[in-house]
Amino acid sequence: MSAPVLLLQVANRQIEATGTGVFLISTLVKMLVVFTIYMVGVAMLTLAERKISAWIQDRHGPNRVGPHGLLQPAADGLKNIMKEETYPDAAYKPLFIIAPAMAFIPALTAWAVIPFASPLPTRWGLIPMVVADLPIGFLFILALTSLGVYGIVLAGWASNNKYSLLGGLRSSAQMVSYEIAMGLSTIPVLLLAGNVTLSVIIDQQAHGLYNILNLTIAFFIFMVAAFAETNRLPFDLPEAESELIAGYHTEYSAMKFSFFFIAEYANMVTASALMATMFFGGWDIPISGWENAAPYTALKTVATALMFAVKVMFFIFLFMWIRWTLPRFRYDQLMSLGWKFMLPLALGYIVVIASVMLGLDASGIEYGPLYGLALFGVNLALVMILFVMVDHGRIISPSYGRLDPRELEKLRGMRQRSALARRPDAKPAAGPTKPAATAGVTR
């Protein structure tokens, strides 16, 4: 009888709880709560996506199952469980079966390190509102989100279907390309915080300016890379309905297909939570300093959790909003955007931010309002340059079709030569002048 009492030692409410028993039980409870809310949330997101797409297209969306269609996810889930599981003859079964889980698990696990509220005081001490407050929180997320690609690639390969394979290949290329830009874009954030623990990053933002005001361009790169990482439009090339039927999950049915779907939404939630945490102050309530002052209460925990939910939902909405606005990139555009634009921009941005920080440190300015203001000023100038001056030209243009005139001549020459090769009797000298002459006549 005395064992649980000993395990759960009563302690000061405002001091972080110690002891294995408290740790184990609180972690279990947090896991269950987070998992439940997360899965229900992901299910509701499928409805949200359909509703938002419908509203954007001047329709009503699903409204038959339950009030305002709220029970639609339940009906969909039931349908997917009841459906027949199909296995293509040529598929490699072990991987075919395991792939959905491999896509799904990393998406879910990444959530473990994201703090979602201010610490909760209990009679056993202060419990931090994060499933696992890892010191290497951010690196853990980078590692896990990269793992998600294995599920997709293996699904594409194991299906033994050409569409699936192409989808899987595209996905791997896309993830590799954008992973780098994503990792590099967060370095300025980590430089500012001086730490990779997400709770420290939140704390730093709570006591200064939010990173979105200081590091807008890093946020921009991170957001675009997050869209690519989660395979959402305008980067949904692995799926690409119009080209690849359903890409890597063409051959999947029933709950296995559903798992890919859940994984996509789970990834989206994780990416949204990351954006909220790294650039929008996580669970911190803007302006007010009330919620991160010392006497923690349950009310503060609830309020900050709600604040965090609002921030995450905003980004989820942004994901959906963009999905139903922008068309898909062409494959070469995707690659050039990733390698020729995002990567150099991220690298250059690190240099700029690091120099500014070095300059501020050298001039003896402590981290505080003045420091933030200086960064804000630099940021404002950079944003103006990038989005007003450069965007007006060609760098962020989606159409990397602009060719050097010399390149164009070379390509036209190739065309001439190939035409000549097909008609060996034609005189070589007549070739280049002929199109010019006809062009002159038509004009």
Partner 1 sequence: MAINVKVVDRPTGDVSYVRSALKGMALTFKHMVDPHKVTIQYPEEKHSLSARWRGTHRMLTTEDGKAKCVACGLCPTVCPANCIKLVPGEDENGNRYPLIFEIDEFRCIFCGYCQEVCPEEAIHLGRHYENAEYSREGFVYDLERLTAQTHPVTELWDPEDPKGQ
What's phi and psi for 57, nearest 5 deg? -95, 20
Nearest distance, CB of residue 398 and partner 1, angstroms: 5
Nearest distance, CB of residue 225 and partner 1, angstroms: 15
| C-beta of 128 vs 398, nearer to partner 1 | 398
Nearest distance, CB of residue 356 and partner 1, angstroms: 23
Nearest distance, CB of residue 176 and partner 1, angstroms: 23
Question: Would you say 390 and 383 are in contact if contact means Cβ atoms under 8 Å apart?
Answer: no
Nearest distance, CB of residue 412 and partner 1, angstroms: 7
| C-beta of 401 vs 428, nearer to partner 1 | 401
> Residue 309's Cα: distance from chain center in Å?
17
Query: Which of 147, 316, 285, 299 has the alpha carbon at shortest distance from 210?
Result: 285
- Between CA 175 and CA 165 the distance in angstroms is 15
Nearest distance, CB of residue 405 and partner 1, angstroms: 9
Three-state DSSP at 121 gives strand
- Between CA 27 and CA 8 the distance in angstroms is 13
Strand residues in 95-240 grouped as ranges (E)? 120-122, 125-127
Nearest distance, CB of residue 301 and partner 1, angstroms: 33
| C-beta of 129 vs 320, nearer to partner 1 | 320
| C-beta of 147 vs 390, nearer to partner 1 | 390
In the block, residue with structure tokens 């090769």: 421
CB environment 246-276: b (16+ within 10 A), e (fewer): bbbbbbbeebbbbbbbbbbbbbbbbbbbbbb
Please give the residue ranges that form the binding site for partner 1 (CB under 8 A): 52, 55-60, 63, 321-322, 324-326, 387, 391-394, 396-399, 401-403, 408, 411-412, 414-415, 418
Nearest distance, CB of residue 60 and partner 1, angstroms: 5
| C-beta of 299 vs 384, nearer to partner 1 | 384
| C-beta of 120 vs 275, nearer to partner 1 | 275
In the block, residue with structure tokens 């594409």: 156
Pairing of strands 125-127, 120-122: antiparallel
| C-beta of 122 vs 397, nearer to partner 1 | 397
| C-beta of 66 vs 398, nearer to partner 1 | 398
Question: Would you say 125 and 8 are in contact if contact means Cβ atoms under 8 Å apart?
Answer: no
